[in-house]
Structure 1
Amino acid sequence: MRGKRIGSGAALLAGALAVTGLALAPAAAAVTPTTATFTASCGIFGGGSATLTATQSGTAATLTLSTTAIKAPLKITANSINSTLTMANSTGSNRVFTGNANPEMNINDPITVGPLNGTVASGDRLDIFGGGLTMVVFGITVTCTATAAQAPGSFVY
């Protein structure tokens, strides 16, 4: 009977240690920061403060851009803005995020595009400054560039 108690106790101890190890294991690497702001210039279409939101799952990444500085000129249906977002990469080739995802927007609503899909590599450091955004809305191409580096800094993957 004593042998069974020791065996059961050892099994319980091993199980507890395994659970503790899982709880203390480091989280999977993810992009940091997850949001950044910058000032955009979109020529005759305006410009101002904009926010980028980043997500990552392995080498797949998404970026969403939103701004209150540029307003919808007309009602825009969901998933109708074709967007290409190029991010400068201080560790290698620029990364390009594309898609036609956008929410439905009424006249004078702030513009939001994304999530736009792209591929990243471990160690990439991406910044909108040196890249840019091109949107095709109602057949009109709108090109936006950043006037300075994003804050609080580059997205690190």
Structure 2
Amino acid sequence: MRSKRLGSAAALVAGTLAVTGLAFAPTAAAVTPQTATIDATCSIGGAGEATLTATQTGTAATITLSSTEITAPIALAQDSISSTLTLVKASGGTTAFTGTKNPAIAAGGGVSVGPLDGTVAAGDSLEAFGGSLQMVVFGITITCTASGPQSPGPFVYE
């Protein structure tokens, strides 16, 4: 009887350790790379380097774009920019990420929009070069385009 209790206790301890290990295991990055940079030119706000940060949970994905070199000519309130980031699929076509998320931006401050929401499929390879970012501010559309491929390469989704 005693060996049955020890066997049951050992199995319980092993199971608890396995579950605890899973709870503390690092999560896998579903999209690679998670960050990329582009050189972009905008119809208002100038030109310069911008950083794209991507996340993925299943088919839901987000991208945030931020730049200290592309600036806002006027102060902008939080969540006042309606943005659409269109990325080019390696397999053809495009994928759009949309939203109205942005921090408050001071006049002359760097632009940041996102997270912008989009839908991806396993195997999608998305690139900013050939796409665009359109931001609508006070009814005025500002378009930004990349002058070359993003670095270190396109976002590839699992």
Provide TM-score, normalisation by structure 2: 0.86
Query: 1:12-51 maps to which residues of 2 (within 5 A)?
Result: 12=12, 15=15, 18-19=18-19, 22=22, 27-28=27-28, 30-43=30-43, 45-51=45-51
Identify the residue that residue 126 of structure 2 maps to in structure 1: 126
Deviates more, 1:28-37 or 1:73-82: 28-37
What SS does the corresponding residue of 1:68 show, helix, strand or coil?
strand
Identify the residue that residue 153 of structure 2 maps to in structure 1: 153
Q: Which runs of 5+ in 1 are unaligned?
A: none
> CA 1:17 to 1:73, structure 2 compared with 1: closer, same or farther past 3 Å?
closer
Percent of residue pairs bearing the same amino acid type: 62
Q: Which runs of 5+ in 2 are unaligned?
A: none
Query: 1:70-149 maps to which residues of 2 (within 5 A)?
Result: 70-149=70-149
> What do the CA deviations read for 1:109-137 (whole angstroms, capped 9, x no partner)?
10111111110001111110011101111
Quote how far apart the aligned CAs of 1:65 are.
Answer: 0.6
Identify the residue that residue 63 of structure 2 maps to in structure 1: 63
Deviates more, 1:115-124 or 1:24-33: 24-33
RMSD, aligned CA = 2.4
Does the 8 A contact of 2:48 with 2:70 survive in 1? yes
> CA 1:92 to 1:121, structure 2 compared with 1: closer, same or farther past 3 Å?
farther
Partners of 1:24 and 1:149 in 2: CA distance:
37
Partners of 1:26 and 1:92 in 2: CA distance:
33
What SS does the corresponding residue of 1:70 show, helix, strand or coil?
strand
